[in-house]
Structures are given as structure tokens and as C-alpha cells.
Amino acid sequence: MAPGISTEESTMATMPPKNEDNPILYSDVNQEELQAKTSKYLLNYGTKFNKDVICGSRGLYVYTASGHKVVDFTSGQMSCLLGHGHPEIVQTITDHAASLDHLFSGMVSPPVISLGERLCNLLPTGLDKAFFLSTGGESNEAAIKMAKIYTGKFEIVGLGGSWHGVTAQALGAQYHFGRKGQGPLMPGMLMLPSPNAYRSIFRRADGSYDWEAEMQYGWRMVDMQSCGSLAACIVECIQSSAGMHVLPPGYLAALKRECEKRGMLLIVDEAQTGVGRCGDLMAINHENVVPDILTLSKTLGNGLPLSAVVTNPEIERVCVERDFCFYTTHVNDPLPAAVGDKVLEIVVRDELVEHSRAMGKVLHDRLNALKEKYGCIGDVRGRGLMAGVEIVGDRDTKSPALALGKAIGDRAYDLGLWANLSSHPSFGGAFRIAPPITITKDELLSGLEILEEAFATTPGTLPA
């Protein structure tokens, strides 16, 4: 096979001849040299790079420069909903890269129209019109701007453990380490306490989680801080970055009522939960709540940069009258739109929502069985094929155990499984598990066996 990277002649990677049976795109690479070039040429953007260079991906797996085959239990960045290199997605990309890739922002094309039609027909009434951008941050930025223009107000409420992106308004609506170092953020950003059934101090007499009291306390704080210009509240149905915290049953409906009392819009960000991940087509379907604006990203593009903003005709009408503007270089681009349209087609055609629900039960049953065996697992939570496993040093005190979590994650990776530990100071301590929703039961059980072996062979996991 032709070399993937010539370490003597070029610093650029070249592709070997196409081999559909070989998932490794770059071969004969020198990992140590590439790691040195990573340090020399790649700007750090706030993450720690994985110790291995990834040279290929296919289905449920990624492949390292050293030939290590790793089960990808996070679907890339929680995005490859159908797995890596899905043949129909590959063909869609190939066709559109050759013949209909990118257009001027005022032009429309068949795949964009088809995606808009398919998406809106799958969503509840009240989410009837869409446009398409590249990232979740962009879509949330656009949704917040739309809410401000529609209401004529400027204050935005977010949950403390959210992650909506790193653009100005999206970043302002979340409360974690990413806010630091750049001076004042957007004015009028206010916070509600994040629902956290495991750690919240709001408890009923029987010790159960009292999210209603917590929410009312939060809104009292918001009302005291507000200058009377509340425009919108933006939330995720499952706060993934914070450790896969699920909104309690009834929370989203109560949140919408609180927004309506104040003349606010409700924005729901389904970057990770959307398109079947949680055992429903959208997480809003689980609670039968229709937000004023819905945003999608990650899962819609199956790893390609594609996001969506969806709302109703009345909000669109007012925003157009008030000169709403959000055209970007890649707004309504045909190539990613064609991919999103194909993703929705496959999810519906192959009944992957139902499959996600069934595999989610297997996942959560096995994770809860692990919890019974290992005292370092403080909590298992999530829904469908989204799960969080929180690692603690002591179940009674719930003391965080980041070092232990990292050791378990490193051991799992060495054994052939990638599961992300949410380890930033604002969120730390929970493994996030979100495999492709095409995963088979055998593949899922095989990955979970690796995870169990990692717990069994890591010192300090406190076997029961």
C-alpha cells in the first residue's frame, strides 16, 4: 500500500489508493514525528490532545497510527449518529462534492428544500420553518438573536451546566470554565440552577429531589436580577457536558409555563439529543413540549458541520419585519444539507429511534449492574443511547474522584474502548457514553465488557 505520510519528503498527508475494505486512510505513519509536529504547528484551543494519532474510522471504530482498533463510544464528538463512514452518507457526500457543493447564500437548492420539508414534517406543529448553518454554536447564536429581535428584549436565561457553544451569546448563556479570560460577556445573561438529581441540595422530607422548589428558587433569583427585559430561556433536555443530567419529568413543561408568564420564548438545544439519540426522535417528544425555537446540530450532520434553527411562521414574520439577519458563508449549503436529509431518511426508514430505545435499555441495565459491583460508581443516568456514569471516591460523601476516573478511562482505551470522561473543573467526574444508534446488541455488549474489564483491573474502583 502506498504510504499515507512520507516522513522524509513532505509534512502533508497523502491518501493511499482507495480500498473499501481497509478503514485506515493513512498508513506507514511515524506517530512520534506526527506528535512532535502537533506540538509545533497546531494551536491549542483548550483541550488535551489524545495520545494517539487517529488514521482511520469505520462504523463503530477508530484506528490509531499504531494499528490500535478502538470502540468509539462517543460517536466522535457525540455526532456520528449512524457511525463512521456510513455507505449512504459517503455516497451522498461524493455526489454533492462533485456536482452541488456550495452556493451563494441567497441561492437555494433541492437538498436544502428537501431537508427543510422532511425535518419540519417530522417535528410537531409550531416548528414549521427552518434554515441551516454549520455548528451548534452558530444555531444557538441565531436562535438567541431571533428571540431578542422578536421580543424586543435582551435578557437570556440559561441553566448552569449547559453547553451551547463558544460564540458570544451562546457562551454568555452557560456557566463554566469557558467564560474565563476575555472580560465582560454579553449583558443580561442570567442563570437557573442546573437540575442535578444526584447532587442538588433541594430535597423533600423523604430525601427525594425537589426540582420544583429548586426551579422556583431559581426564577425568584432571576426576577430579582432582571431589569425587566427577559427575552428567552435556552436549555438542553439532557445536559451532556455537565455529565448527562436529564431534565426531570415535567421540568420542561414547567419551564415553558414560567417563560410564558414572563413573555419569554423557550429555546431548546438538541445538539446531542436530537434525531433519535435518546429513544425519541427528539427529546422534546418525550415530554410533549413544543418550544418556540428548536436548534439541532451534531447528530443531524453525522459528523459533518450542519446545524438547524426551526421556529414558527409568526416568529419568522416578525423577525423579517425587524430586519433579522444571519447569513453566513455556509448558510443553506447544499452538500451538508443533503447529508442531513439522508440522515433523517435513514433514521426513519431503518426504525433507528425504536432501536435506540431498545439498545438504551440494554445499556442502562448493564451500567446499573456495574454500579452494583463497583462502589466508585456513584450514579448512572441518561436516556436511550445517552448515559452518564459518575465516578466518586465515596458514595456517602459523593466526593469527586477525577484521578480515578481518568485511570479507568485510560485503562479502557488501552483495552480498546473510548469513553469520554467529563473532566473539566466545572463538570468533572462522569463518563459520557453515546455510541452510534446503529450499534448492534452484540457490539454494545462487547464494548460494555471492555468497560467492565477496565473497572475490574484499575486499582481503587472499590469492588463491592
- Mean pLDDT in consecutive groups of 10 residues from the start of the chain, 464 residues: 37 44 89 91 86 94 93 96 98 98 96 99 98 97 98 97 86 80 88 95 97 98 98 96 94 98 98 97 97 98 98 98 95 98 99 98 98 97 97 94 95 96 75 98 98 97 84
Same domain, 130 and 195: yes
**Is pTM beyond 0.85 here?**
yes
The pLDDT assigned to 426 comes to 60
Total domains in the fold of the chain: 2
The pLDDT assigned to 167 comes to 85
Residue 195 CA to residue 248 CA, distance in Å, equals: 7
* CATH label of the domain that carries residue 215: 3.40.640.10
Domain-located, residue 17: no
The pLDDT assigned to 22 comes to 85
* Domain edge (last residue) among 324, 349, 374: 349
Domain-located, residue 19: no
Domain-located, residue 320: yes
Same domain, 143 and 99: yes
Determine the structural domain holding residue 409 and report its residue range.
Answer: 31-39+46-85+352-456
Domain-located, residue 26: no
Residues with active-site annotation: 163, 236, 269, 272, 298, 432
Same domain, 271 and 380: no
Same domain, 313 and 440: no
The pLDDT assigned to 11 comes to 33
* Domain edge (last residue) among 334, 349, 364: 349
* CATH label of the domain that carries residue 365: 3.90.1150.10
The pLDDT assigned to 462 comes to 87
The pLDDT assigned to 185 comes to 84
Domain-located, residue 10: no
Same domain, 208 and 158: yes
Same domain, 283 and 314: yes
The pLDDT assigned to 7 comes to 34
Domain-located, residue 21: no
User: Which residues are 377's β-sheet partners?
Assistant: 391
* Domain edge (last residue) among 318, 349, 380: 349
Same domain, 240 and 326: yes
